[in-house]
Structure 1
Amino acid sequence: MTDWNDSDLGSIGAAEELDLESERADGSLRSPVTMWVVRAGDQLYVRSVKGVEGPWYRGTRTHQQGRIEAGGVRADVTFRDADPGEYADVDTAYRQKYSHYTSIVEHVLTDRARASTLRLEPR
């Protein structure tokens, strides 16, 4: 695993949204999908509101790598399944960062969404 540098970690973690492009079987990138991103400790995470059945999440399963862009940073990443032990910290990060979206933030805090938690690791 490669670690984020402090500058990129801070910029991406502070961004309101992230664009994610997952890699297809032929190595080309899918169209970007815009989503929320959170930082918990020195890691970055995304979740699918639709859980593991969400189309963009399913797209990450092919090669488990792709590209993200957020906060002025564009990076090639590996998508790693988060360990269930990480979920509580990720939940807290979502609540803190997106609390102003009161009626929406709860959708990323369900068991279905938690099951799709991906850690973004730079390549």
Structure 2
Amino acid sequence: MMDWNGSELERIATAEELDLASERSNGTLRDPVTMWVVRSGDGLYVRSVKGSDGPWYRGTQSRHQGRVEAGGVRRDVTFHQADPAAYPGVDAAYREKYGHYTSIVEHVLTDGARASTLRLEPR
């Protein structure tokens, strides 16, 4: 497992949104999808509002790698299913960062969305 350097971690974590492009089975990148990203501890996490049925989430499951861009940082990453023990910290990070979107933030706090929580690791 490779760790984020402090500058990259901070820049991505404070960006309002992240662009995520997953790799197809042939190694090419899909079109990027814009989404929310949060930091919990030293990890970066994303979730699908539609849970595991979300098209971008399903795309991450073929090769478990792709590219993200946020806060002026572009990195190739691997997608790891988050440990359910991380969900409370990720929930809190979503509430803190995006809580001002009152009617929207609740959609990433459902059981279905939690089950799609991915930890982003640089590669």
Task: State the Cα distance separating 1:55 from its structure 2 match.
Answer: 0.1
CA distance in 1, matches of 2:85, 2:41: 13
**Uncovered stretches (5+) of structure 2, i.e. residues with no partner:** none
Which residue of structure 2 aligns with residue 51 of structure 1? Answer: 51
TM-score w.r.t. the length of structure 1 is 1.00
CA distance in 1, matches of 2:17, 2:44: 12
Q: Are positions 1:65 and 2:68 aligned together?
A: no
Provide, for residues 12-43 of structure 1, a one-character-per-residue CA deviation record: whole Å limited to 9, x for no partner. 00000000000001000000000000000100
Give every structure 1 segment of 4 or more consecutive aligned residues whose post-TM-superposition deviation is greater than 6 Å: none
Percent of residue pairs identical: 74
Which residue of structure 2 aligns with residue 88 of structure 1? Answer: 88
Which residue of structure 1 aligns with residue 112 of structure 2? Answer: 112
Task: State the Cα distance separating 1:90 from its structure 2 match.
Answer: 0.1
Q: What RMSD, in angstroms, separates the aligned Cα atoms of the two structures?
A: 0.3
TM-score w.r.t. the length of structure 2 is 1.00
CA distance in 1, matches of 2:49, 2:99: 16
